[in-house]
Chains A and B, each alone.
Chain A
Amino acid sequence: MNYRINATRAIAKRKIFETLISPGFYIAISIGLFLGYFLINGFVSSIDSSGLNYSLNSVYELIARFLSGTFGETFVVKLFSEGPFLFALYVSFIPFLFYLAISSVFKFGFEKKVGAIELIAYGPADGTAYVLASFVKDFFFTVIYLLILLVFFFVSALINNLVLGPMFFYSLLLIIFLSIAFFAYGIIASILTDNAASGIALFLGIALFFIIVKMGSFAIVSGYVVSLSNVFAWIVKWFSPLFYWSLGLSAIGYGNVGLYLISMLLNILLTVALLIISHFVLKVRGVRV
């Protein structure tokens, strides 16, 4: 066990270094920050004497129309009730989450194909240590990126006289646990497939499936559709990180801190379960193509 921890630590360090010297990491951060910048600027220019007036900014008008049409007016009111940061947080974070997860899946597939992992497995480490290191690296950069976002939003709030708001901070914490479950799904996807392309395709398929089911059950719909999507969502919700994330958000909406903590714990449990499954699959399949 100890040797695996040491190996995980050593590989994770190497992976963190590799990410830090690759241009993709910086581009992903910059894209996220720019998205946040435009959303905050748009919000500020949409304020009039009565509050937020979406029609003053064409981008916000489009966003508000889309969100109201899909999730209802109440959703939009709640989303912007504390300011632009809750929305900006998710919009800025999602591209980075996918960048991290997809790059890990790609790298695993690629290194497996060229035999790099097999080579490591003959040495002091095994496949599990490799995927755990990948997971640690993703977790590390998620926290770093969220800290960068926090600083960026804090400066934005100071400059524009805005408030970050309690819901923003609660979401910030929830996002970490949502991400780790997605990274675990990324690991499963890369282990189950033989090359990088199919690994990415499987991961995107899983992620999109959860997103569509969640959006379907969350969208404003008429009687028949709501019953159907709720039944469907009920079946898959136990495996979906988005379900536990939305449970946490709802808990905060109701002021139930206990349930909020439980939702994070459930996402940790899901992650651990996925990692254990990955370990056994890796044992059976090995790291050879």
Chain B
Amino acid sequence: MKRVVVFLVLIGFLGGIAFSDVPVRKEELIYSILAFAGKEYSGTFCRQDADTIYLMANVDNFLTVRKTLVYFWPITQDWKVDTDALNKPFEGTIVITGKKIGEKKLKQVRYTYYNAPGEYEVNWKVFTGDAADREWKKYSKMVDAYWNAVEKYYQAKAKYEAELNKLTMEITKARKAGKDTKHYLKILNSLKEPKEPTNRPKYYVKPVEKAFIFNLPIGVYRIKFINKDGKIMEGSEKKLVVFGKRRSNGIGYDVIPGDKWTRPVQSKTPASVLYIDGTTDLYLRPFYQDEFNDLYYNKMIKNDSKGNPNIIKWVRIQQVPKARVELIKKDGSSVVVLEKPYYVEQTKGSSLGYRIVPFDPKKYEGRSPSLRAFHIPISRNIKYMKFRLQDKNGKYLKGSDRQIRIIVKSNLSFILFILALLPIGIMFLVLAVRSRKYYAG
């Protein structure tokens, strides 16, 4: 009997595995999209069933047409592609039609791009055709030079460490034998540790690929893909929504509470109020932000995502370089706070906490700051304060004003309860007067 039960359980278990949900992969023609999202390039794809592609206006966006396997992944509730199993790009022409441009035919071009280092985070450069090849060669040379330098560095370091070991042993031997070690020490002092190569490329250049480059004005278009045989590919006809920003150069802040430095919140809405309980200091990181339609932006980042078509949202673009925060206290006095590096230090003991301390390069030699931010000291005694941002020239930036309000639970809340009850009290009074008048008259 026991054997039968075990057998049945085993069969049930194996059956469960055999019939468990495996996402069904479906062969589809997709548009693979590298869309410029205001601050960086973001990759997504448009399924055969999806009817619209969303792109930002007047910037280069890269699209390819390919056949691949598409499946729905229930754990993350989104669509995915299995390019390992099938990834067949198509050569051909994309025809775009729209009121502003009439009919436009796009051919695939070789392209590459990179975000050039500089004062700003957003400094994208796009190269096409031969310029793309040249840029890729230039970058490859830089990478090769760097890795050669790294190789040489490790060779030199190994040699240095071997000599160091040898000398240490000889010094120890000489000391044990009671001999003079001056000669060895002189050699030891003359040894120089090799320095790490500093020619590491500060940016990444994407390998040259072929794509259709979409750089269109704001509008709604129709697109279709025509293959080499001159036929429209089934499932390639889509609506294309090209949108722009509503407003730009707004000011937002990353607000980092001292006790949750890994979970910053963002204050994006101008005139919004930062309500906090005042138990810890705040660290601010200001950034420029642009305003986009919520649905369009979300769908540009991920074509199968959702969004609100009637709401405009702010999107972080880049940090405000060399800014200063002016802190205005309740009495009207103001203090200018500068951006400083901070280090997150583990607290000693069993509490497993941490604290944010100013970064001391000597104390933390060989380490880099955990964050660079503006420190706003907070106390539960302060009821509120305001702050705003100045740019590097000391000019106040519009839309950068914010208020901080320290919320301490009040003991006077019962007043509100009484106020809310007051109409009922008045009602009883009115009813009493009414009935009195009724009986009197």
In angstroms, Cα B410 to Cα A51, docked, is 17
Q: Are A45 and B409 interface neighbours, CB within 8 A?
A: yes
Known contacts: A34-B420, A156-B416. The answer to whether A82 contacts B405 by CB under 8 A is no
Q: Closest B-chain residue to A160, C-beta based?
A: B410
Q: Are B255 and A81 interface neighbours, CB within 8 A?
A: no
- With an 8 A cutoff between CB atoms, is A253 at the interface? yes
- Residues of A near B264 (CB, < 8 A) are 50
Name the interface size band of chain B.
35 or more
Q: Encode B411-430 as 1/0 by CB contact (under 8 A) with A.
A: 01101110111111011001
Q: Are A26 and B309 interface neighbours, CB within 8 A?
A: no
Q: Are A250 and B310 interface neighbours, CB within 8 A?
A: yes
Q: Are B434 and A159 interface neighbours, CB within 8 A?
A: no
In angstroms, Cα B309 to Cα A165, docked, is 25
- Residues of A near B409 (CB, < 8 A) are 44-45
- Residues of A near B17 (CB, < 8 A) are none
- With an 8 A cutoff between CB atoms, is B92 at the interface? no
Known contacts: A161-B405, A222-B306, A253-B312. The answer to whether A78 contacts B269 by CB under 8 A is yes
- Residues of A near B413 (CB, < 8 A) are 41, 159-160
In angstroms, Cα B406 to Cα A57, docked, is 18
In angstroms, Cα B376 to Cα A49, docked, is 13
Question: Which residues of chain B from 230 to 288 have any CB-CB distance to chain A below 8 Å in the complex?
Answer: 246-247, 255, 257-260, 263-265, 268-269, 271-280
Q: Encode A115-159 as 1/0 by CB contact (under 8 A) with B.
A: 000000000000000000000000000000000000010011001
Q: Are A81 and B269 interface neighbours, CB within 8 A?
A: yes
Known contacts: A26-B427, A33-B420. The answer to whether A163 contacts B311 by CB under 8 A is no
Q: Are A159 and B410 interface neighbours, CB within 8 A?
A: yes
- Residues of A near B313 (CB, < 8 A) are 74
Q: Encode A154-176 as 1/0 by CB contact (under 8 A) with B.
A: 01100111110111000000000
- With an 8 A cutoff between CB atoms, is B319 at the interface? no
Q: Closest A-chain residue to B264, C-beta based?
A: A50
In angstroms, Cα B310 to Cα A144, docked, is 32
Q: Closest B-chain residue to A72, C-beta based?
A: B308
Q: Are B423 and A220 interface neighbours, CB within 8 A?
A: no
Between A21, A49, A81, the greatest number of chain B beta carbons within 10 A of the residue's beta carbon is seen for A49
In angstroms, Cα B255 to Cα A130, docked, is 57
Q: Encode A46-90 as 1/0 by CB contact (under 8 A) with B.
A: 011111100000000000000000011011011001110000000
- Residues of A near B246 (CB, < 8 A) are 254
Q: Encode B286-319 as 1/0 by CB contact (under 8 A) with A.
A: 0000000011000100001011111111000000
In angstroms, Cα B415 to Cα A77, docked, is 29
Main SS at interface, chain A = helix
- With an 8 A cutoff between CB atoms, is A221 at the interface? yes
Q: Are B423 and A33 interface neighbours, CB within 8 A?
A: yes
| Number of A residues, CB within 8 Å of B | 56
Q: Are B273 and A163 interface neighbours, CB within 8 A?
A: yes
Q: Are A74 and B294 interface neighbours, CB within 8 A?
A: yes
Q: Are B308 and A50 interface neighbours, CB within 8 A?
A: no
Between B271, B304, B416, the greatest number of chain A beta carbons within 10 A of the residue's beta carbon is seen for B416
In angstroms, Cα B52 to Cα A221, docked, is 14
In angstroms, Cα B417 to Cα A278, docked, is 42
Q: Are B407 and A49 interface neighbours, CB within 8 A?
A: no
User: Pick the contact of B311 from A47, A78, A161 — CB < 8 Å?
Assistant: A78
- With an 8 A cutoff between CB atoms, is A30 at the interface? yes
In angstroms, Cα B274 to Cα A246, docked, is 26
From residue B344, how far is it (CB to closest CB) to chain A in Å?
A: 16
- With an 8 A cutoff between CB atoms, is A98 at the interface? no
List chain A positions with a Cβ less than 8 A from chain B: 20-21, 23, 25-27, 29-30, 33-34, 36-37, 40-41, 44-45, 47-52, 71-72, 74-75, 77-78, 81-83, 152, 155-156, 159-163, 165-167, 217-224, 226, 230, 246, 250, 253-254
A-B contact pairs, 21 of them (CB 8 A): A23-B430, A26-B427, A27-B423, A30-B422, A44-B409, A45-B409, A47-B275, A49-B276, A72-B308, A74-B313, A77-B268, A155-B416, A159-B412, A160-B413, A161-B406, A161-B407, A218-B308, A220-B306, A220-B307, A226-B309, A253-B312
- Additional 13 contacts, C-beta under 8 A, given A83-B275, A254-B246: A27-B423, A30-B424, A34-B420, A44-B407, A44-B410, A50-B260, A74-B308, A81-B272, A82-B272, A82-B273, A161-B383, A167-B271, A254-B247
